[in-house]
């Protein structure tokens, strides 16, 4: 197991009030002012991109909860206010309410910590208070390469701030495997009936990515499964020949943001290539287009496929970004501590290095604002105190910091 570096701190260092980030905050104008990568592409409807900033922009105060952590990928709040975090290299830790991280939790399975792979998302079971069960996704080494897998386990903390996983079981594997190190996804989100949504990637490379359109393949999909890993009986492709029954929706690229809204519905944000990050409200059986339809271009600047943004039988994104924010982590804000954000989605930006705040109206983005944190945002969660917590990282890995955002 990996050990924490000696520079762990729980100092609650204030890093100031974010009033005017590096970009200009001005009500009524889009926060994004850079030229798009695909200037000839046009949105399908008004407000699908570059929504205006809200008339009242929240004054946000930020402070460091803890820093010097290993490179984190995800965090989750435990019922007692402590945090459970996943480090990309393969270790879990519990961070105390004093900001100090305990020793590595025992019995985490082997992960492929290579490229974009590693120990990925973590979520508490809906009945965690009584069962102690957690679920986590990870890049799993396999005989046919590797792929995103989901495991469940019982978390048993100890008196030293650490603990162990017991009854570890891999409940679901994305298939087929592939010998690559990119686009694993992955986020986990529980629906209101205890159903588990699992988001994954399409493995990036040109040969496997086309399988995002193939129902026999688990690449580039969202899955909807039971807590023991089975396809739910009302999934859209149950009983269909040559289709994986766990699939909920298809045609996705690399899904690293997902959350459940106040109505119990799944929302996601996925990475585009150069341009084309997408906010979606994934529906049963629907096709979201990748790699045949996108608002982005290849990293080379060339068109993706035929360069089309609309096609029959594919869904339009609710919203898209060009240039990208590079989304990772997402939360629905239903607390009262920051009233200006009530009902908004909060999305971490790896490239934009800010928390992207999406104010919704009738399932469309009415306003977009951003809070600049000056670092890549890997995960975003709403704490039991109504504050927002962000996991930050430096490009290429390095140490992570957890930052708390409150109303200034």
Confirm whether 183 is a catalytic residue. Answer: yes
* Integer Cα distance of 288 and 302 in angstroms: 21
Q: How far is CA 161 from CA 87, 103, 132, 390, in A?
A: 16, 7, 16, 22
Q: Catalytic: which of 6, 71, 93, 183? A: 183
Q: How far apart are CA 355 and CA 363, in angstroms?
A: 20
Side by side, the strands of the sheet bearing 119-124 are 119-124, 133-142, 145-157, 163-173
* Integer Cα distance of 393 and 216 in angstroms: 36
- Residue 104 DSSP one-character state: P
Q: How far is CA 366 from CA 30, 49, 321, in A?
A: 11, 10, 14
Of 159, 167, 152, the residue nearest 102 (C-alpha): 159
Integer Cα distance of 88 and 113 in angstroms: 7
The CA distance from 219 to 147, in Å, is 9
Burial of 407 (0-12, 13-18, 19+ CB in 10 A): middle
Read off the DSSP letter of residue 315. P
Q: How deeply is 143 buried, as exposed, middle or buried, from its count of CB atoms within 10 A (0-12, 13-18, 19+)? A: exposed
Cβ atoms of 158 and 164 within 8 Å: the answer is yes
CA distances from residue 400 to 72, 91, 111, 166 in whole angstroms, order as listed: 6, 14, 19, 27
| Separation between Cα atoms, residue 51 and residue 271, nearest integer Å | 19
Tokens, residue 357: 């705040």
> Which residues are known catalytic residues?
183
């Amino acid at each position: 197991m990996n050990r924490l570096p000696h520079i762990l701190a729980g100092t609650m260092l204030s890093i100031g009030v974010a009033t005017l980030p590096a970009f200009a905050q001005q009500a009524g104008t889009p926060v994004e002012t850079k030229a798009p990568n695909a200037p000839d592409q046009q949105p399908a409807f008004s407000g699908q991109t570059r929504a205006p900033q809200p008339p009242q922009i929240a004054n946000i105060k930020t402070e460091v909860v803890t820093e010097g952590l290993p490179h984190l990928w995800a965090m989750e709040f435990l019922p007692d206010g402590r945090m459970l975090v996943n480090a990309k290299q393969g270790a879990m830790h519990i961070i105390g309410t004093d900001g100090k991280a305990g020793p590595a939790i025992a019995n985490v399975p082997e992960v492929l910590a290579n490229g974009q792979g590693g120990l990925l998302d973590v979520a508490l079971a809906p009945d965690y208070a009584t069962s102690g069960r957690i679920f986590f996704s990870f890049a799993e080494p396999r005989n046919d390469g590797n792929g995103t897998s989901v495991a469940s386990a019982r978390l048993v903390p100890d008196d030293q701030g650490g603990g162990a996983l017991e009854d570890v079981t891999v409940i679901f594997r994305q298939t087929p495997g592939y010998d690559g190190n990119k686009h694993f996804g992955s986020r986990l989100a529980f629906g209101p009936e205890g159903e588990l949504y699992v988001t994954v990637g399409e493995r990036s490379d040109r040969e496997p990515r086309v399988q995002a359109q193939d129902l026999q393949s688990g690449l580039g999909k969202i899955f909807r499964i039971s807590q023991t890993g089975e396809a739910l009986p009302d999934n859209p492709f149950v009983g269909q020949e040559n289709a994986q029954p766990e699939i909920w929706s298809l045609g996705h690229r690399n899904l690293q943001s997902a959350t459940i809204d106040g109505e119990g519905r799944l929302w996601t944000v996925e990475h585009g290539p150069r341009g084309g990050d997408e906010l979606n409200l994934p529906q049963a059986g629907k096709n979201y287009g990748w790699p045949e339809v996108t608002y982005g271009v290849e990293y080379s600047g060339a068109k993706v496929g035929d360069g089309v943004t609309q096609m029959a039988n594919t869904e339009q994104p609710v919203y898209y970004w060009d240039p990208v924010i590079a989304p990772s982590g997402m939360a629905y804000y239903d607390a009262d501590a920051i009233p200006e954000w009530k009902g908004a989605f909060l999305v971490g930006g790896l490239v934009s290095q800010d928390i992207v705040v999406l104010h919704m109206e009738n399932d469309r983005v009415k306003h977009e604002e951003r809070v600049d944190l000056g670092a890549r945002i890997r995960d975003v969660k709403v704490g039991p105190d109504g504050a927002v917590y962000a996991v930050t990282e430096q490009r290429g890995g390095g140490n992570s910091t957890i930052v708390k955002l409150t109303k200034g």
